[in-house]
Amino acid sequence: MSASSVIKTAFLGLQSDIVLALEAADGLAKFTSDEWERPEGGGGLSKVLTNGKHIAKGGVNFSAVEGALSAGAAKNLGVAPQSFMATGVSIVLHPQNPWVPIIHMNIRYFELADGTYWFGGGIDLTPHYILPEDAAWFHHQLKLHCDQFATRYYPDFKKWADDYFFIPHRNETRGVGGIFFDRLVATEDMDKSQLFDFVLGVGQLFSPIYLNLLDRRKDTPFGEQELQWQRLRRGRYVEFNLVWDRGTKFGLETNGRTESILMSLPPQADWVYDFQPEEGSKEADTLKQLKKEINWLQYKR
């Protein structure tokens, strides 16, 4: 079996494991399966859950596409036009309870006809209300995983996430960050199989991390004020994904499946003109923490 086939099989198995874990945690809704084919080559399997007990909308997507890079896509990637293969798993969950964070995870593998390849991915957290102790626990889990492979990974990839998940026109981060990496290739101290172990491990972190955070906050009381704020924060999430996210742009430029690409968008979102939270409120406190380079580990208990 080729390396790309091994990677695709592992990614497909990861999707299945995560879907089962999330269905059990939600306790009400089930994911619907939508298998699709890409006319230019390859396809995928989208798993979508809506109106769950704890998950308002969630998607766990697997794709394995191939074909010829368009001139625009090749230019954006900085490579010569040629055939490619790309496979990955992408997840976004929008919770019912505003005290439970939005979470995103993506792992991917990209290979060109000339033998060039790279891994990419990451996992990041977008709380509607930032709770430093939750952010600290989340970052600690990521650091533990990164440190098993290279001590530079966590600080490097944490900074990368801070820079990537940033909304320039709002001058705020999308959330509390996490880790983000792209174009990882083998080096003298890290071969391709070790890189794959690291990337797959990031995917395997998803379920234990999110189920812990869900269990912490799913029963926290909330009212209309919190729901209004949740819709406004979802609006920021939409702005980032549609204006700045490179994955969204790549998918659309390579004629990816629109429904699967836009699965990340929330079920409802609001935009209130020049909304200003009350000074000293929990909403204002969250806005003050949407900054790069916060050492979230300092809040670890």
Measure the CA–CA gap between 147 and 153, rounded to whole angstroms: 7
Main-chain dihedrals φ then ψ at residue 281, nearest 5 degrees: -80, 165
Taking the CA atoms of residue 209, residue 153, residue 11 and residue 77 in that order, the dihedral angle to the nearest 10 degrees is: 130
**104 carries an active-site annotation:** yes
Amino acid at 243: V
Measure the CA–CA gap between 222 and 128, rounded to whole angstroms: 12
DSSP string, 75-121: HHHTS-S-EEEEEEEEEEEEESSTTSPEEEEEEEEEEETTS-EEEEE
> Can you tell me whether residue 12 is helix, strand or coil?
helix
Measure the CA–CA gap between 156 and 257, rounded to whole angstroms: 32
Per-residue burial over 256-272, b = 16 or more CB atoms within 10 Å of its CB, e = otherwise: bbeebbebbbbeebeee
Give me the catalytic one of 104, 128, 139, 145: 104
Pull the structure tokens for residue 177. 């960050």
Instruction: Give the count of beta carbons closer than 10 Å to the beta carbon of residue 112.
Output: 18
Catalytic residues: 104
